Amino acid sequence: MTLPAQVSPPEIALSDSAPSQVAGAEVVAVPVLADGAPDADGAALTLGPGAAELLDELDEDLFALLDAAKATGEAGQIVDRTVLDASGMGNKDLRQVLLVGVGAGTPAELRRAGAALARRTRDCGVVATSLAALADEAGLRALVEGLVLGSFEFHMRSGGPLITPPKQVVLAGVTDVKGRRPALERSLAVAGASWRSRTLALVPANEKNPVWMAEQAADVARHAGLGITVWDEKRLAAEGFGGIVGVGQGSVNPPRLVRLDYAPRKANRKTPHVVLVGKGITFDTGGLSIKPKDNMMLMKRDMTGAGVVLAVMGALAAVDCPVRVTGLMACAENSVGAASIRPGDVLRHYRGRTSEVTNTDAEGRLVMADALAYAVEQLHPDVLVDVATLTGAMKIALGQRTGGFFATDDALADTLRTASLSAGEPLWRMPLVDDYEERLASKVADADNAAGGPGAITAALFLQHFTGGLPWAHLDIASVGDSPSDELEWTKGATGFGARALLHWLELREPLAGVGAPAAHREV
């Protein structure tokens, strides 16, 4: 079986015309701003750009419509009005008017409003909206991310998708269309990467295995101009990648390690170098330490980390990333079979460190350890960042809306945290304390792969031994790898969380500013 044709995000265009004057628009959406706390008479609301032109043509009291709907102007709240007769209007195709709440018009609120608008206009043709007329560059980018990701759909149906995104969204009433086009293009690249990472995570495991992941990487590398190297199972074994080989040996689908290389146009030997490592467990049964059946239902997305790395690598040129970046995807399928690793087995990782396997369901750290060790010895980066759906403990700690991360460098931690907030993928720094280091002790090996609670911290401590003392951040996104419902820009199911946060970081003009400097000498 091959994947059926998938829907594409809506085309998004800029226009300086008022939304009601965009030819062919079936839907016109104008913003509703909340001016402050509601008073005794209800919410204090203001209609934003585009409303005046609409009122000139539409015989309708829009404030009465808002009052009747008890609108508050909250971001994402939509009040609609069907246009029964547009024969007397300049745009005779108009069928519906939407009044879209944007709160105070912050980037986060515009992202939410964009996602709500995208969902409300599914299966439509042309949608014209003046929401972007409220926005600065950050607001425009957030709005576009919401419009794209609120349109997301994945399906495996023989009859095609149940819903389709609007064909085109025209961001109307925008001044300086030419000047704002670069921001639009960057936002489309970032949103597209998030779309790709979601899609990869949702592909079922009977289609998706380590070889398939390597094929997807080759396709991205070809289109994005990246260098690519792939290790098959024989080369992995010959070069000592014992963690990846061990986890993958119980499956009929052999493991792979994929390396992707990006360099900016003016790169030289002094250009800083970042390595991204992604966990790529294409299906996780738990191995012989088998998972309960309910937990296993989500395990086709246990390669989210590798999918995020792949999506980020494909978008680096589009966001004009100024540093060299290498992406490593450590891919294996953790299956139950005659050759599966057993509790009590000892694996020898790249560079020789050994792990006693006391729980075969703590497999992600085993494959990532090899990739981290390879990065330290062969690539000598300035910064290491890994991303993985690693521990259920992180979900217990943070719920399903915030991802956790650990970092050995304060400047790196601060920059990642700020980037995650601007991207709408919030990360919360967790304590990388050595109080629990003794729990990693093994009587027969350098470490136990399942040191117990606190699970997210002991997993991070396990990985830290493979980072060579380099500035390092570990993103544990198990808490946010799956969304329980359609909410904000998230669609129920796998989220691909992390692609936007990493791209908002890596597009900065100096993403490594202050990293590696002694704390006392860092600029505040």
- Can you give the pLDDT of all 524 residues of the chain as single tens digits? 688 999 999 999 999 999 999 999 999 999 999 976 554 455 689 999 999 998 888 878 899 999 999 999 999 999 999 987 777 788 889 999 999 999 999 999 999 999 999 999 999 999 999 999 999 999 999 999 999 999 999 999 999 999 999 999 999 999 999 999 999 999 999 999 999 999 999 999 999 999 999 999 999 999 999 999 999 999 999 999 999 999 999 999 999 999 999 999 999 999 999 999 999 999 999 999 999 988 898 999 999 999 999 999 999 999 999 999 999 999 999 999 999 999 999 999 999 999 999 999 999 999 999 999 999 999 999 999 999 999 999 999 999 999 999 999 999 999 999 999 999 999 999 999 999 999 999 999 999 999 999 999 999 999 999 999 999 999 999 999 999 998 889 989 999 999 999 999 999 999 999 998 665 444 33
User: Which residue(s) pair with 404 in the sheet?
Assistant: 428, 476
Is residue 16 within 8 A of residue 130, CB to CB? The reply is no
User: Which residue(s) pair with 53 in the sheet?
Assistant: none
Give me 441's structure tokens: 């002790």
CA proximity to 135, closest of 49, 6, 77: 49
Give me 292's structure tokens: 């309960």
Is residue 279 within 8 A of residue 310, CB to CB? The reply is no
Is residue 385 within 8 A of residue 502, CB to CB? The reply is yes
What's the pLDDT at 520?
Answer: 45
Give every strand in the sheet of 256-262, ordered side by side. 227-231, 256-262, 324-334, 273-284, 383-388, 472-476, 403-407, 427-429
Q: What are phi and psi of 151, to 5 degrees?
A: -90, -5
Of the candidates 256, 365, 395, 417, the residue annotated as catalytic is: 365
Residue 429: which H helix or E strand, with range?
strand 427-429
Is residue 477 within 8 A of residue 416, CB to CB? The reply is no
**Please, which residues have CB within 8 angstroms of residue 442's CB and are 6 or more apart in sequence?**
355, 356, 358, 448
What's the pLDDT at 44?
Answer: 86
Residue 30: which H helix or E strand, with range?
strand 25-34
Is residue 31 within 8 A of residue 54, CB to CB? The reply is no
Q: What are phi and psi of 217, to 5 degrees?
A: -65, -40
User: Which residue(s) pair with 275 in the sheet?
Assistant: 326, 384
What's the pLDDT at 347?
Answer: 98
Cα distance between residue 182 and residue 510, in whole Å: 19
Ramachandran region, residue 514 (left: φ > 0; alpha: ψ -120 to 50; beta: rest): left
Q: What are phi and psi of 28, to 5 degrees?
A: -120, 130
Give the sign of the dihedral formed by CA 102, CA 106, CA 112, CA 115. Answer: positive
Is residue 27 within 8 A of residue 101, CB to CB? The reply is no
Q: Catalytic site residue 291?
A: yes
Q: Catalytic site residue 365?
A: yes
Give me 378's structure tokens: 């062969």
Cα distance between residue 114 and residue 443, in whole Å: 55
What's the pLDDT at 56?
Answer: 86
Is residue 456 within 8 A of residue 397, CB to CB? The reply is yes
Q: What are phi and psi of 189, to 5 degrees?
A: -65, -45
Of the candidates 291, 429, 439, 522, the residue annotated as catalytic is: 291
